[in-house]
Structure 1
Amino acid sequence: MLHKTKNTIKTALFILLAAFTMACSNDDDALSEIPSPSEIQTQEDLTSYLQQVLDAKEVAGFAVTLVKNNSVTYSNAFGLKNIEQDEIFSNQTVINIASLSKTYVAAATAKAIEQGYFTLDTPINQLLPVDIVNLKNPEAIITVKHLVTHTSGIIDDANTYITTNYFVLPNQDMSTPGADILVNQLGLSITNPVPLEEYLAEYFVEDGELYGEANFIDVVPGSTWSYSNVATSLMGFVIESATEIDFATYVQSNIIKPLQMNNTTFNVLEVDFAQTAVPYLDRNTPLPFYGNHGYPEGSIHTTNNDLSNYLLDMVKGIKGQSNTLFPNEYYQLLFTEQLEDNITPDFFADNHGIYWYKKNNNWSHGGNSLGVSSHIQIEADGSYGFSIIANVDATFSDNTPKWEEVLQLVTQGIQEYIQNS
């Protein structure tokens, strides 16, 4: 049964909008520092251009992968994983990809559907050990589909989400300004992760310290879109409850291992931090390594090499040319529009698949967490796809425009290369 943790609840100072990674900067002056990508013809041209992006934007490091014609046609890394130690960011550098992790929850959902554990229309209370009740609409029936399209009526409480979910790992250097920001300003605890069940019990069991109306909005499920990290963590536990397999283990066995992603994990305790990119608030402010108790929503650690395997499989799958993870109909399920028109807000997307969202004829997902950012994008026809992972912060408002500019510039360079090559 779900039961509650004893952690003290503190007030968060801000909320991570981890999926709102859209290349939306229109600041021509900011972009004018970078040469036009119109002359990109070769991989060497693309490498030179991306290095100029890194230098001009003064960010720590990033890695880029491009898939075209059913193969990885470009994979390269730039900058530093650790500025203080002058350690390069490579294709083997481990990094937290934040909310891009939600696309792995999507793949796990499709796998569990294929295995017959539930359907998109299954009410989640048929699968969970305790009933989830929307306190603002107690008669609401929440289904799997509602969780995976952010239309369940479950929301993140901005006052508690950061301090109750995120934590600094033990044995970090706590004398740095970055550590002070996370622990003394944001109120993060220094601890190891609690079981997913315990974390969620705080929200959804009556005697949980976070139980209350602030976790919900008064809507009919399926009618209103509201991005929710907590609801995604709950989807991980739905899978765990239905399959009777720990969620991280289920993903490792059914998604990560078949794709030969040998340096990828949801379990922060398995991460080799000696090989991991330091998260940076800015180039002068490294942050300590951290985790989140609600790990399904944003805690995959991977490398550019591993992510290229995943990206390649998704590109093949969207075209009906892969059965590595499951039969093709389940790849198609990932990328099938699930919502009626005008439910997903225009600024975010045109529609939703299973966590993946569709905008401007491509399927995408982004991620931002403390000191790291990521993005993955696939053309709807499967003609190409690309990803970028970076130890660049976009969670603090002063840093968001810089990441948006980097993402926009990288996207422009890749699209120009695709067009000319």
Structure 2
Amino acid sequence: MDTEQRLSTKTVAALCVTEFCALGALVIPLVVGLSLLVRGVDSGLALETRLSWVETAGALTAMSLNPVWGWLSDRTVRRRGHRTPWIVGGTVAGCAAVVTATYTTTLPSLVLVWACAQMSYSATFAALYGTLSDVVHPADRARVSGWFAAAATGAISFGGLVGYALLTGHLGVALSEPRIAFVLLALVAVPVAFVASLHLRTLTPRPRAADPAAPDEPVTARGLAGAGSAYWWLWLQRLFAQASYSCLTVYGVFFLVRRAGEEAHDAASVVALVTAIGAALGMAMAVGGSRFLARRVGYRPVMAGGILLLLGANVLLALSTSTIAFVLAILCAGTGLGTYVALDLAVALTVLPPAASGRFLGYFNIARTLPQSVVPALGPLFLALGTGDLVGADRSRNYFAFFVFGSALSVIALVLLARLTVPDHRDPRKGGEMRDEVPASPVS
């Protein structure tokens, strides 16, 4: 590959570290922080239902505004040559909302503040995804996408590890207060975004070809159709894969309390640690493992392997009552998600029309955030089915039905592999060359 086609190490680092810190600011709250926070708010609802209200509102807000932020950042890059106002502004506003959330005492106020946090960080993510399309050469997409995916899974790993260290007192008794764990990475993300933006604003976007959908066109049927069917099939698959993963993580603390009889604080520590390890395995796959395998056997089989790990994890949790089984399931899930996301972003960058990629990558990020609203919204319905769970110390919530739902989501994602158009693995230098034919088998 020509050296002019490779993005500099400094630029890759600026993109990845910003993604790492911004996503990390949401990881600890989503993995363990909100589960502990909702226990202290004034509400008569069940714990899972409280958590569902908070996470659903936040994810719906992020999902609704992702394409808006992407569209606005497309306009900003044409006027200023960069998207840094959205990166910095989203991180600062998100940090303020996360800090405020730790002082709320009622469920409605927590729902509102967390929605503001998700809204703010969605602007950061949309701008970061758009910057990828601005500066990454087509032949360098697989490498940069792998590192970007590694930053995302690394944020989950690091956030879980920090949460575990804080909650268990390994960093000192004074820091074991859940509030500290909740806000720490949000505070760190602010100076990181400022420093990274100083570099990103010096870059010159690559020349762009004309886009079938006008860049300034708002969200319309014509504008959505401009991405092409290959993009939307990939979008749908990402939605189901991410939803399957969300089923495994959204109620982790409550699962251990009800199924294994753990205390809430101990369960939160276990969830934080095992999430960190699972995400570290996923990061190893995202950095190079997935691309290494994809060059040899093709994108489709490797993406199928990642989804199968998510399926196995859901089946295991549907039947298990032990902490050890939970640990194994989350490790499989982290590895599977890292394997999958390292490749799906590379495929998206290949099939998207370049002149409006910021807007369409905003839509692509919706497939990551939408499950954070849909799964918590539907979760209480499955948990309330029948007379309760089949197994466990506390059978008042039907976790068996919930993880059967998660398994079904994985199966749908697997079937959708047959509809994907993926890079030709026979020549890894042809990162932008696409197959025209679609194999009959989803794993062929």
Quick check: TM above 0.5?
Answer: no
Higher strand share: 1
Higher helix share: 2
